[in-house]
Amino acid sequence: MTEVLAVDVGGTRIKASVLDRSGAAVRQLDLPTGTADGPASVVAAVRSVARELAGPGIAAAGVVVPGAVDVRTGTARYSANLGWRDVPLRDLLAGDLGVPVAIEHDVRAAGLAERTLGCARDVTDCLMVVIGTGIAGDITAAGSAVRGATELAGELGHMPVHPDGEPCACGQRGCLETYSSAAAIARRYRALGGGALDAREVAAAPTTDRVARQVWAQATDALGIALATCTMLLDPAAVVLGGGLAEAGETLLGPVRAALAGRLTWRDSPALSVSALGARAGQLGAGILAWQAIGRPAFDAWPAGRLATGR
């Protein structure tokens, strides 16, 4: 019993791995989520992937999903992207696999992984911001997750950073997501006359590309405003940026750090870094929760120097 199953259910792909005690993937599957066929088929796909991958060596499983999650009852409450509502995912999978199962919100799991294995180890007051198609955060205060009264804390993407700003898909104006998500950066670049570049390409565009410069500056400035607000409210010791956009590394960190510092007068900025675990953070968080579900230390053979060698 030296392996756990870790499943990361995303809006487009289900990424599942059997992980050993060092966090390495012994075997893995990566399949389409299949949202086009409705929520029942998403649930069926998750169960099928889990059954297919799990073997007799599996001690427990962790599953992380987007949207709202009730960890107490093990229920995936709802997700706009997946279309599901009140799915008793923990019990379904525990029945299928015959081992303890934990479920969690994907961004909270990514934050847990960064605090356990990544670049915010042992930081008790921490904010992780995952920037991909949307933007969401995981808030830890005094070592405990801030979940909120209805498990909806951490919705950084819909903070009104520019109250009279551009319309957001949510119906409001000026949400952080409207300026700074990977999807928004690509969309705004096109809308302002640029071509069909994705967010990383906009970030890497030559300095002669005036539109790219403008869109990237507005994206990083909006992140700076949002993080200044989070700093005032939460006073974190560390802020970790994750998700696809964080792969831009210093190209992202530099201007966000400057924008944040420029918005703070009478106090220092929290330490700002990009995720050490990258796209694996959510899945590693699922693995940590699986170990926790059986009262075992999480990935106790994790190589001490792994982070020094990059992602």
Judged by the rule CB under 8 A, the positions of this chain that interact with its own copies are 124-125, 137, 139, 141-142, 144, 146-156, 158-163, 170-172, 225, 228-230, 232-237, 263-267, 270
- How near is the Cβ of 58 to its own copies at its closest, in Å? 31
Q: Which residues contact 215 (CB under 8 A, 6 or more apart)?
A: 185, 188, 189, 192, 194, 202
CB atoms within 10 A of CB 146: 15
Nearer to its own copies among residue 72 and residue 304 (C-beta): 72
**Angle, alpha carbons 255-261-267 (nearest 5°):** 165
Nearer to its own copies among residue 155 and residue 198 (C-beta): 155
Q: Which two tokens stand for residue 138?
A: 């995981």
Nearer to its own copies among residue 24 and residue 153 (C-beta): 153
Nearer to its own copies among residue 20 and residue 155 (C-beta): 155
- How near is the Cβ of 168 to its own copies at its closest, in Å? 9
Name the nearest CA neighbour of 294 among 62, 7, 26.
62
Side chain identity at residue 290, one-letter code: A
- How near is the Cβ of 206 to its own copies at its closest, in Å? 28
For 11, half-sphere exposure in the C-beta direction (CA atoms, 13 angstrom radius) is: 8
Q: What is the helix (H) or strand (E) element at residue 86, kind and residue range? A: strand 85-87
Nearer to its own copies among residue 237 and residue 301 (C-beta): 237
CA 287 to chain centre: 15
Any bridge partners for residue 138, and if so which?
128
Nearer to its own copies among residue 156 and residue 289 (C-beta): 156
- How near is the Cβ of 248 to its own copies at its closest, in Å? 23
- How near is the Cβ of 1 to its own copies at its closest, in Å? 32
Helices (H) and strands (E) in the chain, counts: 9, 13
